[in-house]
Amino acid sequence: MKHVQKKYLVIAFLLFASTFLSNCIKHDQVLDSGSTSTDNILYSLKATTAPTVQAIGGTAWNGTIEPVWNNAQKLTTTVTVPDLGNGTFTGYVGNSTSVSIRSLYDANNVYFLVEWDEPQANAKSALWYFNPTMHLWTQEVTNYTTPVASTVNAAGTNYNVNSDGTMRPTAAQDQFAMMFNVNNSCVGFATKSCYVACHVNSSFGSGVTPASGGVMSTNGPTEVLDVWRARMLQIVNENQLNDCFIDDGASVGAGMSGTVDKNEVHGDWQLHNGSSATVPVALQSAQAADGGFSNSQTLKMNNVAKTSVKVPLWVIPSGTYNNSAILLKDTLATGAALKVTAVDSVGVLTLSNGTKIDPNTAASGTAYQQVGSYDGAKCIPGSIVDAYTGSRGDVTANAFFTGTGWRLLLKRALKTSDTTYDTDFSSLVDQNFGIGLMYNGADNQHAIMPGLLLRFVK
């Protein structure tokens, strides 16, 4: 009898193990070509004709999916916001959506076509709006728990709260990320994927208070991850994503030094940026940060002694902005933007040419204010946008919102000049990767799918 019981226990265990492992590795893959697959593999097909990808700084993509993509197998997987156990993603845990990816390659480049459904295109970030009650300019928050300082008054009241006490939706731009293991340097990436550098070590947040997130690092100076971060505001304006890397901080002369909440995500250019005293002399050069900067400054109110407030740095007086951004070229002498030089106690902005923007007038109406869950037509961009240069600008990206979701095209050379912080695809060997998606207004609280594999069809 005992032998029979053991037999059934063994069978039950094997059935459980089989089911568990099957659920772990399938990732709901769908292959358009008619073949079937039950694994986590994204097959990159060799293209006879290169797909068209609009150049960096060039014409916007019209969303057309060319016939060259028809035979590329589509990996469809579900990304989910995980529970890291430390409160970092509180308020978002369990949010999930479907993402499909196709890949092609040719003699010079690798290409990806990514698609996901979403009800609204979020390509704005931290817009400036005017609060008519407090007579202050402030920015829409991109995270429920990290409003900028000017959104909280002395009484601790958050300006981003609706009149009924509910929080307004966060105003973060949509983002998609891919993460690769550079030269297989990061131990455990093949099995854990992005979890090897994840936010699980973050000291931010608690079980009841969400954290700011964005805290990632590897476990040593030789471990490097290549990260492609597609920010929609950058892409719709420049046809380009942010080519980053993650390490333990050694590349910028700091290192983790035993600190587990240090953010070691860097744009590729930072390796050569000598603007910080922590950058070793051997790694410094004249190249500076690029890709734009925050459209923010602190000014003293010109009719209130010793009172300083945050206001926009640049505005376009007409209130018309290109894809919700001020471009760097707009701030040049021949550009449309003017610098904000003064602000008074009721929020009137004085511009560099002596003209003013008064958000209190009947003519302004709600154009500079929050309107429902969104913002008025003349609310001011929170970012100055420009193209990335050097290794940070290695990946061309096109984006198009269909009305029900995003289409994203990516293109990068199989092998770049950055042999330290970029993945080399030229050998056409398998590459482990993971993906992350920030959508529906979420910022760092992203949905992920780890454990994927890129396989080139030779």
Please work out, in degrees rounded to the nearest 5, the angle formed at the alpha carbon of residue 206 by the alpha carbons of 200 and 207: 100
Q: What is the pLDDT of residue 305?
A: 67
| Residue that is written with structure tokens 């059935």 in the block | 15
Tell me how far apart the alpha carbons of residues 373 and 359 are, in angstroms, rounded to a whole number.
19
Please, how many CA atoms are within 13 Å of residue 413, restricted to the half-sphere of its CB? 9
Q: What is the DSSP letter of 158?
A: B
Q: Which residue pairs from 251-254 have beta carbons closer than 8 angstroms and sit at least 24 positions apart in sequence?
A: 251/221, 251/283, 251/421, 252/276, 252/278, 252/279, 252/283, 253/278, 253/279, 253/280, 253/283, 254/278
Is 27 a residue whose pLDDT tops 70? no
Section 105-129 average pLDDT = 92
- How does residue 121 score in pLDDT terms, banded at 50, 70 and 90? confident
Token reading at 204: 């931010």
Q: Which residue pairs from 396-399 have beta carbons closer than 8 angstroms and sit at least 24 positions apart in sequence?
A: 396/53, 396/54, 396/55, 396/56, 396/239, 396/240, 397/230, 397/235, 397/239, 397/240, 397/241, 398/53, 398/54, 398/60, 398/61, 398/235, 398/239, 399/61, 399/123, 399/230, 399/232, 399/235, 399/236
Is the alpha carbon torsion for 145, 149, 150, 152 positive or negative?
A: positive
In Å, how far are 93, 268, 273, 322, 450 from 44, measured between CA atoms? 32, 25, 35, 35, 18
Is 232 a residue whose pLDDT tops 50? yes
**Torsion angle of alpha carbons 128, 132, 136, 138, nearest 10°?**
-30
Residues in the chain: 458
Tell me how far apart the alpha carbons of residues 331 and 351 are, in angstroms, rounded to a whole number.
13
Is 140 a residue whose pLDDT tops 50? yes
Section 382-404 average pLDDT = 92
Q: What is the pLDDT of residue 292?
A: 77
Closest CA to 337 of 312, 358, 359, 361: 312
Q: What is the pLDDT of residue 270?
A: 57
Q: What is the pLDDT of residue 247?
A: 85
Least trusted range by pLDDT, from 4-8, 161-165, 167-171, 252-256: 4-8
- How does residue 338 score in pLDDT terms, banded at 50, 70 and 90? very high
- How does residue 167 score in pLDDT terms, banded at 50, 70 and 90? low
Section 357-379 average pLDDT = 92
Higher pLDDT, 122 or 141: 122
Share of residues in the chain with pLDDT > 90 (%): 46
What is the distance, to the nearest Å, from the Cα of residue 251 to the centroid of all Cα atoms in its chain?
Answer: 22
In Å, how far are 206, 219, 311 from 123, measured between CA atoms? 30, 33, 21
Is 176 a residue whose pLDDT tops 90? yes
CB 416 within 8 A of CB 110: no
Is 274 a residue whose pLDDT tops 60? no
Token reading at 200: 């699980």
Least trusted range by pLDDT, from 33-47, 56-70, 219-233, 323-337: 33-47
- How does residue 8 score in pLDDT terms, banded at 50, 70 and 90? very low
Section 180-193 average pLDDT = 91
What is the distance, to the nearest Å, from the Cα of residue 200 to the centroid of all Cα atoms in its chain?
Answer: 19
Section 98-108 average pLDDT = 97
Is 286 a residue whose pLDDT tops 80? no
- B/e letters for 173-184, b = 16+ CB within 10 Å, e = fewer, are bbbbbbbbbbee
For the ranges 50-54, 135-139, 250-254, 309-313, the one whose mean pLDDT is highest: 50-54
Higher pLDDT, 19 or 118: 118
Tell me the one-letter amino acid at 173: Q
In Å, how far are 230, 285, 430, 447 from 128, measured between CA atoms? 23, 35, 45, 27
Q: What is the pLDDT of residue 2?
A: 41
Is 271 a residue whose pLDDT tops 80? no
> pTM of the prediction?
0.82
In tens, the pLDDT along 11-24 reads 343 333 333 233 33
Is 248 a residue whose pLDDT tops 70? yes
Label the pairing between strands 136-139 and 175-181. Answer: unpaired
Section 44-64 average pLDDT = 96
